[in-house]
């Protein structure tokens, strides 16, 4: 049996390790501060927990700028869908109310 070593294709360029490690460091710090904020909130230290959790959230948003931008741009569409859904719920409640009134009049006789 012969073992043939597999090499990387020539067109694949390795990413610099420094950029990847700094991105991972920000992610780790954000996750740790969110966890610490949750622990502080659970232990009853509300102000400190909220402050640390807010810092962790800010770091996570800095780390994930493209995702935050995509969600921010999609927000008006989500709001329109929510408004349409609330209109349908309101119509259903109006129908239910009119049926309740009708049944109330029938049973009141």
pLDDT digit string, tens, across residues 6-41: 555 555 555 555 555 555 888 899 899 999 999 999
Which tokens go with 92?
A: 């259903």
Residue showing tokens 């659970």: 42
Give the least confident one: 3-12, 16-25, 75-84, 94-103.
Answer: 3-12
Q: Is the full-model pTM beyond 0.85?
A: no
pLDDT-based confidence at 82, cuts 50/70/90?
very high
């Amino acid at each position: 049996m012969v073992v043939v070593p597999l090499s990387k294709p020539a067109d694949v360029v390795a990413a610099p390790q420094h950029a990847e490690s700094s991105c991972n460091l920000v992610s780790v710090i954000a996750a740790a501060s969110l966890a610490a904020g949750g622990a502080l909130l659970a232990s009853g230290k509300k102000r400190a927990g909220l402050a640390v959790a807010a810092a962790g959230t800010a770091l996570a948003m800095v780390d994930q700028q493209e995702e935050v931008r995509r969600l921010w741009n999609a927000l008006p569409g989500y709001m329109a869908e929510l408004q349409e859904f609330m209109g349908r719920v309101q119509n259903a409640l109006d129908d239910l109310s009119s049926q309740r009134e009708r049944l109330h009049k029938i049973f009141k006789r």
